Structure 1
């Protein structure tokens, strides 16, 4: 209680410039308390009841102003992580670089952060913030956020939005503006460049000139980021529901090709020989907009297929049969994808299984098609075959045959597998052993 009392009565620290604070009433923003999730409203109200400040913050407020239903809700408060953890029994403190609290309410998890402080963050030689667990006021926290559209604080009890950076006006103008000097902010955290790509592509915002100007020069700093962190940000781009728009922003904003191999592959999606990437992203965008499930492993299999196919054709040209050649190509990719690209094993395993089943679709005679349909990854591999068909890589007749086969009854399947043409390389067919001619017994004397 003493800490809370001191926060209220102690004057603000001297020497820090004051931001212009705008309070937007309900009559202007129109966000009602019942537009929040039950969990977010409960967390905010509980923190208020315990004497703390608490606000719904960031992307959820932005989306509500845009008339979009938020996928998740974050809360900012002046309570420390330890104080938040003490209030909520079902909660845990996570993070080293930035400590946050995950509060579980039913099936939903609310991310609760403490207001960030000013200038005591630990930086490395490149200027990147390595550790930042200093706390401050809401005004200081607003100064530390990345873009003006993400620096809005909504109080569902008073039904007011607090805005320090004209973020509401930028949202209305569909404009992405970074807070502070752009080059310095990208130096602090280069991943903000990828967030600018994703937000501008997803929301259809124009990137303000001063926000965009340093990106080509600063993008090289992304190479010093942990690969796992880059992979997470790339996944957010891929599964934003607007992946193709985001990819166009990668090029227009001048993000270089050599940041991460996945980004390099994505930037080549418009090339005719890489059309499978464009088709996969289009299908993914459509499924996400319809709230249908998507497979990370499947999308990665499509994005990296052109590179894999290069290895596959290389080994085939050197005399290997299709199946062993593909296995060797997959092993070549595995050495880099899992070890150097930050792709979790659970995704790369699905990707490899989809790839390795592709040559099996050429085998339509006998028992092989029956065994293939029984494979756990058959459906994903079949969908991938259809994708390859759409690029012209695979004959349409082959995909049509498998479409009929998988939906047919047992009698029809047997008939199809007994009369099917064999499109695969003849080298894949098992060779019959020739019987040695029997020696004729010598005639008896």
Structure 2
């Protein structure tokens, strides 16, 4: 494909908001241009601007190699990656990703195994680079010098028509990189783009290929999905295309057998989407604790019936659940610790009198664990009194808390020792 086959659009005519374009990214591009290289804004930032959204990242594509980029920016540049080498430019406390145009030279630094690209550091021209990108909506280039959008693959029309189209055959592109199936779901849910027929027909046939992806990379992609602010919709799409069962096989049985599990997870995703919409903080720990809870609680119940004490049963069940999930997703140790803490706090919430209440209230994970309790109460009525207690106590003065937890009524109260 030759460069002159591109369609050029005037960004102003497409109502692209100039004020939303990062000045820092523009400055980086102009320095590369001054050094004699070509450079453009590329990908998701242009897509989001055309959709009326606020881009979080402004990525740059250039014909300069990572080493040449570093020679321009010196100490403000760091070359990263092995699978795909990139340059990171540090500017005013932010990081801007600069990628070199990808090419097709088969004799270069490219490793492909059974159709899956394991490493790719072959460089080329802009008209080659566009064909190496995944979706048409992510394959647009913006020339900041004249605000023209360069479109080789019909990306502008697809955005206008709310379509999500792959560049090339879905079977080939998903085989090259199975993570693209998850990106399909995320973009469709987050951006309201309809999957192409090719994608819809191909994804169910290739879900097993996700098992070939390194577990750490899969975990990173799952967190992006969890925090895309449209996970409620993404969850339904993942279930429809059998991707959720592939990534979380521990949930296949609970989801099939219990409406409570479906409702619990849907509520968790809805609440997280709402927090993100309100610019509130979220953590990977919370949703991962929600997703793995149904398997852990089933293990816990079985151990309790074998005369294990509650805390012992919970620790054993938690370890087994995390070990089973580890085969597919590499959950960082710190996140595993947070998950365990949220789960253990559910036992501590049973104690609503005495000094232990203070310990629970001041635990670092109290807020996340309390939110988790509210989610459980939303699907299990027998937990409503417990949830009401921990909601009410946060509104009381220190004197009122002392009276509540040390009074005669508290001492005579009996707690349900079960987790549901």
TM-score relative to the length of structure 2 = 0.92
Residues 285-300 of structure 1: matches in 2 within 5 Å?
A: 285-300=273-288
Of the structure 1 ranges 416-425 and 100-109, higher mean CA displacement relative to structure 2 is found in 416-425
TM-fit CA distance, 1:246: 1.2
Residues 35-434 of structure 1: matches in 2 within 5 Å?
A: 35-88=20-73, 89-120=75-106, 122-252=110-240, 254-256=241-243, 258-261=245-248, 268=255, 272-274=259-261, 275-338=263-326, 341-392=329-380, 394-418=382-406, 419-420=409-410, 421-425=413-417
TM-fit CA distance, 1:331: 2.3
In 1, distance between residues paired with 2:105 and 2:202? 22
Unmatched 5+ residue regions in structure 2? none
In 2, distance between residues paired with 1:267 and 1:413? 38
Query: Counterpart of 1:320 in 2: which secondary structure?
Result: coil
Of the structure 1 ranges 197-206 and 315-324, higher mean CA displacement relative to structure 2 is found in 315-324
In 1, distance between residues paired with 2:42 and 2:253? 31
TM-fit CA distance, 1:411: 2.1
In 1, distance between residues paired with 2:16 and 2:143? 10
Of the structure 1 ranges 404-413 and 132-141, higher mean CA displacement relative to structure 2 is found in 404-413
Of the structure 1 ranges 409-418 and 285-294, higher mean CA displacement relative to structure 2 is found in 409-418
Of the structure 1 ranges 171-180 and 336-345, higher mean CA displacement relative to structure 2 is found in 336-345
2:2 touches 2:127 (CA, 8 Å); kept in 1? no
In 2, distance between residues paired with 1:257 and 1:284? 18
Greater Rg over alpha carbons, structure: 1
TM-fit CA distance, 1:393: 5.7
Instruction: Give the 3 Å change call, closer, same or farther, for CA 244–262 of structure 1 in structure 2.
Output: farther
Question: What is residue 440 of structure 1 aligned with on the other side?
Answer: none
In 2, distance between residues paired with 1:270 and 1:59? 39
1:56 touches 1:155 (CA, 8 Å); kept in 2? yes
1:33 touches 1:157 (CA, 8 Å); kept in 2? no
In 2, distance between residues paired with 1:425 and 1:162? 64
In 1, distance between residues paired with 2:335 and 2:140? 35
In 1, distance between residues paired with 2:62 and 2:253? 38
Query: Counterpart of 2:242 in 1: which secondary structure?
Result: coil
Query: Counterpart of 1:382 in 2: which secondary structure?
Result: helix
Query: Counterpart of 1:259 in 2: which secondary structure?
Result: helix
In 2, distance between residues paired with 1:175 and 1:269? 31
Cα displacement string for residues 327-379 of structure 1 (whole angstroms, at most 9, x for unaligned residues): 22122223334565211112111111010111111112222212221222122
In 1, distance between residues paired with 2:249 and 2:34? 47
TM-fit CA distance, 1:273: 2.2
Query: Counterpart of 2:359 in 1: which secondary structure?
Result: helix
Of the structure 1 ranges 356-365 and 109-118, higher mean CA displacement relative to structure 2 is found in 356-365
TM-score relative to the length of structure 1 = 0.87
Instruction: Give the 3 Å change call, closer, same or farther, for CA 30–425 of structure 1 in structure 2.
Output: closer
Instruction: Give the 3 Å change call, closer, same or farther, for CA 169–213 of structure 1 in structure 2.
Output: same
Instruction: Give the 3 Å change call, closer, same or farther, for CA 380–251 of structure 1 in structure 2.
Output: closer
2:250 touches 2:292 (CA, 8 Å); kept in 1? no
1:338 touches 1:344 (CA, 8 Å); kept in 2? no
Paired residues in the alignment total 410
CA RMSD, aligned part only? 2.2
TM-fit CA distance, 1:184: 1.1
Query: Counterpart of 1:63 in 2: which secondary structure?
Result: helix
TM-fit CA distance, 1:143: 0.7
Question: What is residue 28 of structure 1 aligned with on the other side?
Answer: 13
In 2, distance between residues paired with 1:423 and 1:307? 24
Unmatched 5+ residue regions in structure 1? 1-15, 427-445
Query: Counterpart of 1:341 in 2: which secondary structure?
Result: coil
TM-fit CA distance, 1:276: 1.8
Cα displacement string for residues 112-144 of structure 1 (whole angstroms, at most 9, x for unaligned residues): 000001142634432111111111100000011
Cα displacement string for residues 82-110 of structure 1 (whole angstroms, at most 9, x for unaligned residues): 01111113111001011001111112111
